[in-house]
Structure 1
Amino acid sequence: MKKAALASAIVSLVCLASATAFAAPLPGQESSKVTPDMIQTGSDIPAKWVQPQGNFDYVKREVMIPMRDGVKLHTVIMIPKGAHDLPMLLERTPYDASGMASGNSPHMADAVWSGDKDWADGSYILVWQDIRGKYGSEGKYIMTRPPMGPLNPTKTDDTTDAWDTIDWLVKNIKESNGKVGMIGSSYDGWTVAMALLHPHPALKVAAPESPMVDGWMGDDWYHYGALRQVNLDYFTGQMTKQGSGQSVPRENYDDYTNFLEAGSPGAWADAHGFKQLPWWNRFAAHPSYDAFWQLQALDKLLVQHPSNVPTMWLQGLWDQEDIYGAVHAWEALEKAGHGANNHLVMGPWWHSQINRAGWNLGPLKWPGDTTAQFRQQVIIPWFNHYLRGTPMAKPLPEAMIYNAVEQHWDSFNDWKPASEQKLTPIYLQGDFGLGFEQPSGGSDSYVSDPAKPVPYLQRPIPAQNEDRWRTWLVQDQRFVVDRPDVLSYTTPVLTKTVTVQGAPIADIFARTTGTDGDFVVKLIDVYPGSVPTDPTMGGYELPVSMDIFRGRYRKSFSDPSPIPANEVQQYRFRLPTINYEFKPGHRIMVQIQSTLFPLYDRNPQTYVPNILFAKPADYKKATITIEHGADGKSAVLLPVVATTPR
């Protein structure tokens, strides 16, 4: 046999042997055979999955609670296993009740959202409910549905829905002791306040946290008439779906550019389909403080319908969203003689931070987790007192307000509403000085250009950046101090502590070449150039209290009027409440400007009927002159108190 033929034969034998080897079953292996149980023609997802929960320390129920008009509201209930005679904690929300108890854990404290972890210790039945028309609830959603009356001709509102819900709970949750407390922040705080207008007898205690009380005067929508236009995303997120909608899509990363290019807020809204939203159409038709806003102001309604429910009005000292509501609700009730069962608490927090960790607020660091400490040491024992009958170590004071400089809580049994404060003017002086002595005279001017508004944060300002949004109220103001359209007035270095407790009042005398205009006033603590304990705070310009005022409302919030050009006018408005100490070595600064963009919409500085729909040609430069002499002694009126050793 030739070599080539021999090689070919050998290869053929090897391949045949290999094929035979692979085809033969291995020892112990049988050949494959398809049987009927291997075949699935339906879905591998069962019609209903039931998770074994034998090791869970709670039972979770989802029910539809009927209201008096037949509408049913989706409600999630978590009950500790073996519970009996436990109080119930109720939160009513437009933000998805199921999401507040979505953790797949056998332990109740791990299954709830951060705000309820300290409550989920087995001693409370926790209840969350979707308000009408949101997520799993039936009915029609109406933004902060007004109470029954001129703005709501139906027979239901969030007061009746809270009443009906509590009534159902005490009759159907047999593990309870028949007592209910309500809690919630922001919109959820609003639902607590609404429940207080006519509380169910089983509602024994309540804590509205940073509640939406007056959306025009100083909560989410406006501040003294200036529109908080970045909140327009909330409209689409809340009202384009029954669940969670999306924010407005952005052309640019920097929102400063987005809103500047859009022109007016109305142009922005029209471009993004807002005319489809009934709420926007009602909202946009009422830019002034008319009956639409006045009849929804909860501080006024609470005084008209005071309750006997012990209530803690709680908010953050640097609440970037709802810094108005809790303080004004408490003050209104206090002034009307209902202070005995109403308490004010202000912590060193951003909006709703009470429900999260509280170790710091931006660059400000605290000696411990202030929110966890407050929940565990104050609010839960206080709720326990009214819901379980347990004694408190000491009574809750009229007001508890954190001292951010000394880093401790101060308690007050004689905290005064703003209208009863004793005020000390700190005057704007020549050469951009600031002091308690009478000013010698003079004025300062700047050009406010709507084409170049002062940003409220250092640019770029992304639309979605939670950390920067939460802490913008403690942003170091050095980023604007050198702008020609920002006036900064500063005291000499302090030689003794200046303690301010209450609400400062801006009292500005100014002229403008325009016929409308805004005024932003900031009260700032200027740190020494060197801070050995925290070098990053050297020279920091910390805003302590600030707000914006729309000039057309200087005489009336409901009836705006043009500003007479080149005539001195007085602009007097309240700044947010503080409990603050300006220490020796620091300086006090007052800054004045006309824009805080894009957080607030630009004033065209030309009087138009509805600023929301100002035309491009309406936006004009104006020269603003701040007086600090014979024509007006501009000042910030401070509630200065004598410093008392702690």
Structure 2
Amino acid sequence: MTNRIPIDQIITEKHVPVPMRDGVTLYADIYRPDAPERHPVLLMRTPYNKADAQTMNYAHPSWYAQHGYVVIVQDTRGRWESEGEFQPYRTEAEDGYDTIEWAAGLPYALPKVGMYGFSYAAAVQWLAATSRPPHLTCIAPAMIGSDSYQGKTYRSGAFALASIQSWVLFVAQDTALRKGRTDWAAELGASLAGIHGVYRSLPLKRTAAIREELAPYYREWLEHPVRGPYWTVRSLRERYGAIEVPALHVGGWYDLFVDGTIENFNGVRAQGATAQARDNQYLIVEPWYHMPWSRYVGELDFGPEAANRIDRLQLEWFGRWLKEDASQWSGVAPVQYFVMGDNRWKQAEQWPPQSAAETPFYLRSASRANSVSGDGALTEEPPEAEHPDTFVYHPSIPVPALGGRSGAVPELTPMGPKNQLPVEVRNDVLVYTSVTLEEEVAVEGNVTVVLYAATTAEDTDFVVKLVDVHPDGRAYNVAEGIVRASFRHSLEHPQPVTPGEIVRYEIPLGPTAIVFKKRHAIRVDVTSSLFPTFDRNPNRFMPPGETTEADFATATQTVYHDRLHPSHVLLPIVRSAQETK
């Protein structure tokens, strides 16, 4: 680590103009050492107020400046002090390029630029990197996905209601104030305070709380409910081959973007434009949700090793690439991931870890698996002749999401590990639980459920959760997945289902790393709603933005588990050295 410069030797410049190629001026705050020598640049571009600089999760920019950097924090186009119109992601590649090259030319800056930030401030790093600015040297994107459709705005056809609506309401407040409409800003604040009422408002494309004048992109997103050119033009997964820089990827097991974060790591590692990029992708996965970053996540404490250490890691990362200090970031494994349950760190050469073996655990029941009071079981023995389980789903009484992978504010959206018993007592939740474990079961990798199911509707949703059952009965969600039945084959070409037909669904629950401890049990929950994480499927084949209560239909769902239809969860289990002998 470099010697820390005293705070009174840090110069702060506010509201510094940065010209863009189209004549728009963006504004930045600059923090730099008061010294004759030049220093490399750290750049954050944020729509969330440059004066804040995402300090909920990161150290203040002056702290980085004290370690020998010129730190520039910029309001993105149309946000806070910057000129222009806010159109999410639309001009971030060009604006990022122009800002990077402007920063590299500052008289007190070394022409080496690194970027950091999470969420939107991570997306702009990737978009800038795809435009290949000559002086961008490395990036450190945290908590961001790979695709603007899948995993962000939609997931397997279901609209990401809570994260999208809460985000739009939040960012629209600044837009209202920029227009001089303090009354609209006050309305938005009231809507955030009563957001669970907003979530139930239909139709979604005419949500009264979200004014078209403030957020026209919200309706656009609902008008494009399938993945196509509207989404792919700004998606990263098609553009890994344009990336030329090393990247430090930071994700969280309870973050809504965790699967996309890992996909970015693997994608650039395989397809990056240069050997330096391909050979210098690093992944760190914490047990966190979107924010804030802490050992305390939802209802669980993951211990001291889960404390926020990102600032120190970033100093090492930027020291390696911006200061060319070979002693920094030396001997680091490509993948570092936190194993929940054991609450410790592991390293690997890849994700998923090579040592994990997919092991099926089958859904079983003797009579009926409805609710935690039923007789649903989860076993390694496949079923033979068993009756299916049946439940009824009506969108007017959806199963509430308790915790999980949403974003971005825990007070507004369902996030993190929470006890699932309050929903597992419902008969419209099928509950399959293993026997009490006599030995630990280590799961490290991507979890998938194969579900054989039929519905009486032309479209519906199936939701699956992996749950860790503690000895006292508390049941904490580990991972979750959803599929909109009409999107079972394709994100681009949805098709209704045939009522009564048994369909094989593959439902990704995403990546995780957890040790199910002795005296715990492994559980799988199956239902048809996860509200408000996702919109309520009306059980009709129609665009989500157009649904009203008048469209709601009842669906009777049947989940099969017999020799011909062996519904199961595939757990990537890591066997101990003793077990493999």
TM-score, normalising length: structure 2? 0.87
State how far apart, in whole Å, the 2-side matches of 1:270 and 1:360 are: 35
- Conserved 8 A contact 2:144-2:261: yes
| Equivalent residue, structure 1, for 2:181 | none
Aligned pair partner of 1:629 in 539, 562, 566 = 562
SS where residue 105 of structure 2 aligns? helix
The partner residue of 1:226 within 136, 158, 170 is 158
- Pair 1:274 & 2:218 matched: no
* Secondary structure at the counterpart of residue 424 of structure 2: coil
Q: Per-residue CA shift, 1:587-642, capped at 9, x if unaligned?
A: 0000011111123211001222x122123332111110111114411111111222
- Report if the CA contact (8 A) 1:515-1:563 is conserved: yes
The AA in structure 2 aligned to 1:232 is Q
Residue 612 (1) aligns with residue 545 (2)? yes
**Partner residue of 1:332 out of 250, 256, 267:** 267
- What CA distance in whole angstroms lies between the structure 2 residues aligned with 1:408 and 1:551? 38
Residue identity matched to 1:514: A
Q: 1:493 aligns with which of 436, 439, 443?
A: 436
Q: How far did 1:191 drift?
A: 0.5
Question: Following TM superposition, by how much is the alpha carbon of 1:469 offset from its aligned partner in structure 2, in angstroms?
Answer: 4.6
User: Is 1:209 paired with 2:153?
Assistant: no
1:439 and 2:383 aligned: yes
Q: 2:336 aligns with which of 376, 400, 420?
A: 400
Q: 1:389 to 1:255 in 2, by over 3 A?
A: closer
Kindly state the Cα deviation for residue 249 of structure 1 after the two structures are TM-superposed: 6.2
1:144 is aligned to 2:89: yes
Q: Residue 178 in 1 paired to residue 111 in 2?
A: yes
Q: Is the CA contact 1:518–1:594 (under 8 Å) kept in the aligned structure 2?
A: yes
Shift of 1:101: 9.6
Q: Which runs of 5+ in 2 are unaligned?
A: 1-5, 178-184, 367-375
Query: Which residue number corresponds to residue 342 of structure 1?
Result: 281
Give the 3 Å change call, closer, same or farther, for CA 636–67 of structure 1 in structure 2. same
- Letter aligned with residue 166 of structure 1: I
* 3-state SS, counterpart of residue 234 of structure 1: helix
Query: Residues 313 and 271 of structure 1: is their aligned pair in 2 closer, same or farther, counting only changes over 3 Å?
Result: closer
In the superposition, the TM-score normalised over structure 1's length comes to 0.78
Distance 1:565 1:218 in 2: 28
CA distance in 2, matches of 1:127, 1:638: 44
Matched residue, 2:180: none
In the alignment, residue 196 of structure 1 is paired with which amino acid? A
CA displacement at 1:186 relative to structure 2: 0.3
Which residue of structure 2 lines up, in the alignment, with residue 506 of structure 1?
A: 449
Alignment of 1:30-429 (within 5 A): 56-61=8-13, 62-82=15-35, 84-100=37-53, 114=59, 116=61, 119-145=64-90, 157-172=91-106, 174-219=107-152, 221-230=153-162, 231-239=164-172, 241-242=174-175, 245=185, 248=188, 255-256=195-196, 258-260=198-200, 262-267=201-206, 269-270=207-208, 272-274=210-212, 277-301=215-239, 303-307=240-244, 309-319=245-255, 321-336=256-271, 339-354=278-293, 358-368=294-304, 370-376=306-312, 378-390=313-325, 391-392=327-328, 394-416=330-352, 422-429=357-364
Q: Give yes or no for contact 1:398–1:415 (8 Å, CA) kept in 2.
A: no
Is the 8 Å Cα contact of residues 199 and 532 (structure 2) preserved in structure 1?
yes
Which of the numbers 567, 571, 580 marks the counterpart of 1:638? 571
What is the CA-CA distance between 1:514 and the residue it aligns to? 0.8
Q: Deviations over 1:45-76 (max 9, x none)?
A: xxxxxxxxx99331111311112222221111
- What displacement does 1:85 show? 3.0
d(CA) in 2 for partners of 1:59 and 1:382? 24
Compared with structure 1, are the counterparts of its residues 592 and 575 closer, same or farther at alpha carbon in structure 2 (3 Å cutoff)?
A: same
Between structure 1 and structure 2, the one with the greater Rg is 1
Cα displacement string for residues 79-105 of structure 1 (whole angstroms, at most 9, x for unaligned residues): 122262322110011111133399xxx
1:252 & 1:122 partners in 2: Cα distance? 38
Taking structure 1 as reference, are residues 426 and 259 closer, same or farther at Cα in structure 2, changes over 3 Å only? same
Q: Report if the CA contact (8 A) 2:241-2:268 is conserved.
A: no
- Do the aligned partners of 1:236 and 1:247 also contact (CA within 8 Å) in 2? no
User: Given residue 39 of structure 2, which amino acid in structure 1 is its aligned partner?
Assistant: L
- 2:480, 2:347 → 1: CA distance? 24
CA distance in 1, matches of 2:84, 2:194: 38
Q: Deviations over 1:391-431 (max 9, x none)?
A: 1363221111111222221111133389x975221110123
Contact 2:298 2:416 in 1 (8 A): no
Distance (Å, rounded) in 1 between the aligned partners of 2:173 and 2:310: 37
Describe the superposition over 1:270-327 as per-residue Cα deviations: whole angstroms up to 9, x where unpaired: 57533764312322211111221223221222x23131x11011111111x4334311
Cα RMSD for the two superposed structures: 2.9
Q: 2-side partners of 1:642 and 1:81: how far apart?
A: 55
User: How do 1:587-606 and structure 2 match up within 5 A?
Assistant: 587-606=521-540
Structure 1 56/101 Cα, relative in aligned 2: closer, same or farther at 3 Å?
farther
Would the aligned equivalents of 2:112 and 2:322 in 1 still touch at CA under 8 Å? yes
Q: Give, in whole Å, the separation in 2 of the partners of 1:614 and 1:92.
A: 37
Q: Does the 8 A contact of 2:53 with 2:73 survive in 1?
A: yes
Identity between Structure 1 and Structure 2 (%): 27
Whether the 8 Å contact between 1:335 and 1:417 is mirrored in structure 2 is no
Q: What SS does structure 2 have at the residue aligned with 1:623?
A: strand
Secondary structure of 2:16's partner? strand
**Structure 1: distance between partners of 2:540 and 2:360:** 31
Q: Which has the higher strand share?
A: 2
Letter in 2 for 1:57: Q
- 2:545 and 2:423 map into 1 onto residues whose CA distance is 26
Deviation (angstroms), 1:263: 3.4
2:416 aligns with one of 473, 480, 497: 473
SS in 1 for 2:481: strand
Q: Letter of the 2:548 partner, please give it.
A: K
Q: Tell me the amino acid that sits aligned with residue 397 of structure 2.
A: K
Q: What residue number does 1:532 align with? A: none
In structure 2, what is the Cα distance between the partners aligned to 1:101 and 1:569?
45
Instruction: Write the distance in 1 (CA, Å) between the matches of 2:423 and 2:79.
Output: 42
Change (3 A) 1:470 1:360: farther
Mark the runs of 5 or more structure 1 residues left unpaired by the alignment.
Answer: 1-53, 103-109, 146-156, 459-463, 530-538
Summarize the Cα distance change of 1:199–1:248 in structure 2 as closer, same or farther, 3 Å threshold: same
* Closer, same or farther: CA 134–423 of 1 in aligned 2, 3 Å: same
Moved more, 64-73 or 342-351: 64-73
| Residue 508 of structure 1, CA deviation | 0.9
Give the whole-Å Cα distance in 2 for the aligned partners of 1:468 and 1:233.
Answer: 10
The SS at the match of 2:71 is: strand
Task: Specify whether residues 271 and 489 from structure 1 end up closer, same or farther in structure 2 by C-alpha distance, changes over 3 A only.
Answer: same
Give the CA deviation at 1:511. Answer: 0.5
Contact 2:447 2:572 survives alignment (8 Å): yes
Q: Do the aligned residues in 2 keep the contact of 1:315 with 1:352 (CA within 8 Å)?
A: no
